[in-house]
Structure 1
């Protein structure tokens, strides 16, 4: 394909891939050469070529390393998303003290079935309930038709850190599955992602994405919306914080989880994002609501 691009005089960095994870096909290259594909730039704007790098060798020794296929796909998809979507990030916190206690209590039951009851599995179920309550977050924008495409399914992508780069397998019909079942499926696709055994179909069709960095650390981050989705949730590490208990008249230690929501401001307003985050926080703070709403 690189040879085809050179023969046709096409810069692959300007081509929007139509394949899984925005991989570029020969058809994409030919359509771009014929003027039938838009570069990864806002509609109507010319694609600006990347400026030449300075000669770093003047300042000291350097070395070069070829990007992996996954990293090249990430470069294209992130550049495309950044150029197409005006993004805003809403930050919030949830008291997950009771939820963590519930997770530890029922963790052995999940392990007997071969899986793990992780916070990400719980977040999948919570997010599915939130997407049902706020369907605008489970939609896409069709700018050509001036329409909003609302999806009657809930398929959620889960970002998985692998030695070769970030992969996002998709858990389908999250709203129709229990938390333990979600934990089982999550463990299976995460293992396949790390072993590079995911099929293209297993990375397609997401209507929302979750990126959980709590196992690594950090207090917050701003994830990039995975276009054509309109929102993505980022989760950071929980920590023990003093929280005022008005009934007892004292501070008490609580397990607080920070999270963020980046959204497409063309479709979603700030007030909607704040309500979505409050819904998620309330679901995480009261395990009863997980069964009632989910």
Structure 2
């Protein structure tokens, strides 16, 4: 059954006068909200989503990030900047994540560039500006680019060109909370990485005592037509390895 015939076969959307049940307020959706809603609805219906959830140990990375921010008060680095840099490195070893399906679904287009879309929450709706060539950028460059494009999204808005051409996307709720969610893939990408708030987890120390580690929950949604579950698990583990080896700050 085609997507179109599936949609037309569904029951009609229920219509209700909610004011019959109590006081209501009607607010118009913003143009961005309407456009985003259409795109996300299409992507959720058309792409066979699977979401892999895992946690990666970021204890040492968080210590180094705090040291960095104390030493560079004018160029502070967020966990989002670290994730963007990690993606820039991991995608080289997982080319099926840096890909898109052809329009006819018969071919996979492997991209040789690394551009990361970073979701930005604004009063007018959700924007996903794209940082280009992150695999060649320094950590400070990435942090500055995120800050600049996020400010532009919140104050001036973004053009479609500034939100096009991503390898994959990143969305973070870490500044709010949560432990896991299911991010919707930003077509024509085949994957999106979601992050939530860092959690404290107990772990055994060398002397048998309990020590506390900082762990970052990650939720990787992927297109199952292109990516399988084993590779998704390896992809997230590889991100954890980069956070642990200290090279993010080099």
Give yes or no for TM over 0.5.
Answer: yes
In structure 1, stretches of 5+ residues that fail to align are 1-40
Q: 1:85 matched to which residue of 2?
A: 47
Asked if the contact 1:110/1:180 (under 8 Å) is kept, the reply is: no
Alpha-carbon distance in 2 for matches of 1:145, 1:43: 14
Deviations along 1:41-94, one digit per CA (max 9) or x if unpaired, are 954535438524222222222221111001001111011101110000001101
Q: 1:182 matched to which residue of 2?
A: 142
2:64 is aligned with 1:64:
no
Q: 1:37 matched to which residue of 2?
A: none
Q: 1:22 matched to which residue of 2?
A: none
Alpha-carbon distance in 2 for matches of 1:216, 1:44: 37
User: Given the superposition, is the C-alpha separation of residues 165 and 46 from structure 1 closer, same or farther in structure 2, using an over 3 Å criterion?
Assistant: same
Q: 1:225 matched to which residue of 2?
A: 185
Matched residues, number: 248
Q: Secondary structure at the match of 1:93?
A: strand
Alpha-carbon distance in 2 for matches of 1:167, 1:277: 24
2:196 is aligned with 1:206:
no
Between the two structures, name the one with larger relative contact order (CA 8 Å, sep ≥ 6).
2
Report the Cα offset of residue 248 of structure 1: 2.3
Report the Cα offset of residue 111 of structure 1: 3.4
User: Given the superposition, is the C-alpha separation of residues 259 and 42 from structure 1 closer, same or farther in structure 2, using an over 3 Å criterion?
Assistant: farther
Deviations along 1:90-110, one digit per CA (max 9) or x if unpaired, are 011011110011111112454
Alpha-carbon distance in 2 for matches of 1:44, 1:146: 19
Deviations along 1:142-163, one digit per CA (max 9) or x if unpaired, are 1516000001111100011111
User: Given the superposition, is the C-alpha separation of residues 42 and 69 from structure 1 closer, same or farther in structure 2, using an over 3 Å criterion?
Assistant: farther
Deviations along 1:127-146, one digit per CA (max 9) or x if unpaired, are 11111110100100115160
Q: Secondary structure at the match of 1:242?
A: strand
User: Given the superposition, is the C-alpha separation of residues 236 and 207 from structure 1 closer, same or farther in structure 2, using an over 3 Å criterion?
Assistant: same
TM-score (norm 1): 0.80
Q: 2:80 matched to which residue of 1?
A: 120
Report the Cα offset of residue 222 of structure 1: 0.8
2:210 is aligned with 1:248:
no
Asked if the contact 1:70/1:164 (under 8 Å) is kept, the reply is: yes
User: Given the superposition, is the C-alpha separation of residues 200 and 109 from structure 1 closer, same or farther in structure 2, using an over 3 Å criterion?
Assistant: farther
State which structure, 1 or 2, has the greater radius of gyration over its C-alpha atoms.
1
Q: 1:193 matched to which residue of 2?
A: 153
Q: Which runs of 4+ in 1 moved over 6 A?
A: none
TM-score (norm 2): 0.93
Matches of residues 95-114 of structure 1 in structure 2 within 5 Å?
95-112=57-74
User: Given the superposition, is the C-alpha separation of residues 191 and 132 from structure 1 closer, same or farther in structure 2, using an over 3 Å criterion?
Assistant: same
Asked if the contact 2:68/2:76 (under 8 Å) is kept, the reply is: no
Alpha-carbon distance in 2 for matches of 1:291, 1:256: 18
Asked if the contact 2:49/2:224 (under 8 Å) is kept, the reply is: yes
